[in-house]
Amino acid sequence: MRGTLIVCADYESLSREAAQRVAAALAAEAERQSRVTLALAGGTTPRRLYELLASDEFRARIPWIKIHFFWGDERLVPPDHPESNYRLARETLLGRVPVPPANVHAVAGQLPPEQAALSYEQELRTFFRLRRGLPAFDLLLLGVGAEGHTAALFPGAPLSQLVAGEERLVMVAHGPDAMPRLTLTLPVLNAARRIYFLVAGEDKAAAVAWAVEGKGALPAQQVMTAGELLWLLDSEAASQLKAVRVAR
């Protein structure tokens, strides 16, 4: 089994469990360093988590001035586009908490794909002061698609494409639709100190079971870390697992 499982009764309890853990992790990191890096997940599953983090219950627990926000993947659309992961985060979280604008490191989705990838890669290298090597996010949030993709790493892509060479931090990716995306490469994902998967819904159950307990080459199976790897699931997403470590 890959990582620790937390199975929650439903989407709301999953989101609340995630909020508790994300808030605690960010606060702990902020106690030991002057800036904390969080890579946000896209898709619809994190929406309620982001709303909770911005709520009165959680807002005061997080030292927002220290938190720097990045994205694990982004659709190459303008920032106000309905499909923009940045827009979702802005409307549900970033626009509702006292985050300094300089702490928000969004993808320039309006640029041509390769130019956007190079621009975001340079953003990472500058922020993490990298000439070589990989950035290490303090916390990375990820989801899993029904077919086993994570970030914008999709099944069927050659491993060389998923890795994209350790010298590349960001690459252009294409999913089943025609919309190009940017994604952090697999080595960048795996360099994170904490990785939290958030997965909800019965349509994700087969992919979750395969990623956690199976053998193969799903992108979600390739994600690992020397730190904390946590799977936060609702009961529907966990319904095909053979073993559950922690139930809530």
pLDDT in tens, 150-201: 999 998 765 555 565 557 899 999 877 778 999 999 999 999 999 999 999 9
Question: For 240, which DSSP code?
Answer: T
Q: What pTM value is reported for the model?
A: 0.94
Confidence of residue 247 (pLDDT cuts 50, 70, 90): very low
Q: Which residue has the higher pLDDT, 226 or 22?
A: 22
Confidence of residue 227 (pLDDT cuts 50, 70, 90): very high
Read off the CATH number of the domain in which 49 is found: 3.40.50.1360
pLDDT at 238 over 90: yes
For the segment 90-124, what is each residue's pLDDT rounded down to a tens digit?
999 999 999 999 999 999 999 999 999 999 999 99
Give the number of domains in the chain: 1
For 36-53, write each residue's pLDDT tens digit: 999 999 999 999 999 999
- The residue range of the domain holding 67 is 4-247
Other C-beta atoms closer than 10 Å to the C-beta of 196 total: 23
In this prediction, what percent of the chain has a pLDDT beyond 90?
Answer: 79
Between CA 46 and CA 143 the distance in angstroms is 8
Specify the 3-state DSSP secondary structure of 67.
strand
Question: Which spans in the chain are helix H?
Answer: 11-32, 47-53, 56-59, 85-92, 113-127, 159-163, 186-190, 205-213
pLDDT of residue 164: 55
